[in-house]
Amino acid sequence: MARGVRGRGAAGPRPRIQVVALAVAAIFLVIGVLGFVPGVTTGYGDMTFAGHHSGAKLLGLFQVSVLHNALHLLFGLLGLVLARGVGGARLFVAGGGAAYLGLWLYGFAIDGKAGPVNFIPLNDADNWLHLGLGFGMLVLGLLLSNDAGTGGRLDTPADRP
């Protein structure tokens, strides 16, 4: 069995990429739930299902809607499922980071625009958070999974013995 890879019923620590994927998934689940808690979410009565006019703000800072919170919950659940394997954990963390960088670009592209393309409330705080999440997750996904699940080194040049 490759170093750092757990089989079914195997003892020992999980690869770091799986631990990070589980932690990120848990954070998204908590954020998704907190988005539905009055008091933690200010302007709770002004929350809309979707669209950029939702007046609700998680922690009084991040604009949210029912759809936005549901997406956090779905992303967290997806992370829990994918974190069961090394490849899935790598995909969730690195791929999720790339997706959040795309969401950061989307947030700036739709800023202040009305219409059907602006269906998730995003404010400047959301955009900066998405930038940080995107880079952080992408870097962790790429750095923590270099040799996990590969069975050996990724680079085996012909000139090495």
Percent of the chain predicted with pLDDT > 70: 78
User: Region 106-134: what's the mean pLDDT?
Assistant: 80
- Is 90 within 8 Å of 150 (Cβ atoms)? no
pTM for the structure as a whole: 0.78
- Is 98 within 8 Å of 141 (Cβ atoms)? no
Q: Where are the domains of the chain?
A: 16-143
The per-residue pLDDT of the chain, averaged, comes to: 82
Tokens of 73: 């919950």
In this prediction, residue 48 carries a pLDDT of 85
Where does the pLDDT of residue 117 fall: very low under 50, low under 70, confident under 90, or very high at 90 and above?
low
Q: Is 28 a residue whose pLDDT tops 80?
A: yes
Give the pLDDT confidence of 45-80 residue by residue, as tens digits.
888 887 777 888 899 888 898 998 999 999 999 999
Contacts of residue 136, defined as CB under 8 A and 6 or more positions apart, other chains included, come to 97
In this prediction, residue 109 carries a pLDDT of 83
